[in-house]
Amino acid sequence: MREPESLNLAHGRLAALAWGDADAPVWLALHGWLDNAESFSRLAPLLVERLGIRIVAIDFPGHGRSLPRAEGGDYPIWEYTLDVLDALDALGLDSAPLLAHSMGAAVSCLVAAAMPERVERLVLLDGLGTLTTEVDDTAKQLRMGLIQRRRSRSTVPRYPDEATAIAARVAGGVTPIDTDTATPLVRRNLDVEDDGHVRLRSDGRLLRPSLVRFTTEQMLSLLNNIEAPVLLIEGEQGILAERAYAQRARDAIARLTRVLLPGGHHLHLEAHAVDAVAEAIIADSNETTRRHV
């Protein structure tokens, strides 16, 4: 298997990994919160080979090898939409399919709703829409965000070695993840220091609660404005399943195909689940091609 090509986009602000031939049709891949472009390191080679495409996966700012936001900056979910547009522009793409996981799926939904001319289709991996806050909780959400921003920024975690850093991700992840799945994500997110210790590259500001979130009604309205076809692949042990909001979100999208597969939130990176994810995407892509012939 060929190693991915390392890229720098948007005047060096965004790091990326690319799989596939440089002249093949490009899909832009968007990772989840606290992950990075290595999120697609098992899925991308399968899709590239079978579909004859090129997949470019960016590291969002503050993640992986990309630069953090400027001092005084922040990480509201809608700010990432500009990073997606910058990446498309840097790649010379008027539009492209978006392959997106978790937070990346949320960002891709916002781009597709607001800028439909830039999005050809969405392939969403265990993510749909953004986190929301109910109207009556607006002040509470703002208070949490303000209090966190008035505190000193926490130091970036430092570990004696890579194995300890990986173990910490497995033990402290927001969603369950095993060592094999966590390893590529953690490796791309480490800097090795002079004494041999390793330090996470993630910007500590990513851990602060949002000052403001979309309400459920706003998010459903945005989803209702998505014109592109959507393939939603969910893990049976993922974060969506039969939750009431997830069902409302699915119902809001006009052209949605849902596939439920064995696996967790990172099913596209799980060794036992990735082949089935790839087959679902390939089957949907082939069906899309047949409909347009």
Active-site amino acid positions: 102
Tokens for 21?
Answer: 């031939």
* DSSP label of 98: E
Burial of residue 95 (CB within 10 Å: 0-12, 13-18, 19+) is middle
> Strand locations in 87-178, DSSP E?
96-101, 119-125, 158-159
Note whether 50 and 278 are within 8 A (CB): yes
Question: Angle at CA 109, nearest 5°, toward 266 and 49?
Answer: 55
How far apart (Å, rounded) are the C-alpha atoms in residues 256 and 239?
18
Which of 155, 188, 194, 144 is CA-nearest to residue 169?
188
Decide the pairing of beta strands 230-235 and 119-125: parallel
